Amino acid sequence: MLTQAKIAWIENENERYLVMEQDLQEAAHRYQNEELSEVTFNQIVDDYIASSAERSLFRDFYSHYLERRSDVLIYPTGYQTLFSMQTNARDFRSSIILLLGLIFILAPIVSQDKEEKMDQLYLITEKGGTPLKRKKLWLALSFSMIYILLFTLMEWL
């Protein structure tokens, strides 16, 4: 529910980011005219870059805020509702890294058998390959779940 205090905070944040962008443009103009030192200009640019992630998240949030239909702010997808942001580029990169990691880590679990113990061959022929396949599948799934959880939590640190 959007109260007057929340609406005022959202508008103040929007104004703050607009002023920050105007200050950067003004500083760039003053730097080109040699009215501003390089050290000061670099500090302004560093501050602007440091707030870029927060600023882009707020811009996305603000676009949803402007599209609201009532005093309730509703995000279009469940993922955005959960995290209050769109993270398409980050999700794509993370998905590729996660998929490659799972392939390289899980491939040996599924394909490699112990060669030094011949009782493995005996168990396969006696009971069939099903119990071994189930154990490998269970191990691969449990390991991948742990890997996904750790990978996801590392992104939020």
Q: Which residue has the higher pLDDT, 20 or 64?
A: 20
Q: Are residues 29 and 44 in the same domain?
A: yes
pLDDT at 90 over 60: no
Q: Are residues 120 and 54 in the same domain?
A: no
User: In the listed set 54, 83, 112, which residue is the last one of a domain according to the structure?
Assistant: 83
Q: Quote the pLDDT of residue 105.
A: 76
**What is the pLDDT averaged over residues 129-134?**
73
Q: Are residues 104 and 130 in the same domain?
A: yes
pLDDT in tens, 37-53: 889 988 988 888 888 88
Q: What residues make up the domain containing 33?
A: 4-83
Instruction: Identify the band that residue 100 occupies on the pLDDT scale cut at 50, 70 and 90.
Output: confident
The number of folded domains in the chain is: 2
pLDDT at 81 over 60: no
User: In the listed set 61, 83, 105, which residue is the last one of a domain according to the structure?
Assistant: 83
Prediction pTM value: 0.43
- Secondary structure (H, E, C), the chain: CCCHHHHHHHHHHHHHHHHHHHHHHHHHHHHHCCCCCHHHHHHHHHHHHHCHHHHHHHHHHHHHHHCCCCCCCCCCCHHHHHHCCCCHHHHHHHHHHHHHHHHHHHHHHHHCCCCCCCHHHHHHHHHCCHHHHHHHHHHHHHHHHHHHHHHHHHHCC
Instruction: Identify the band that residue 26 occupies on the pLDDT scale cut at 50, 70 and 90.
Output: very high
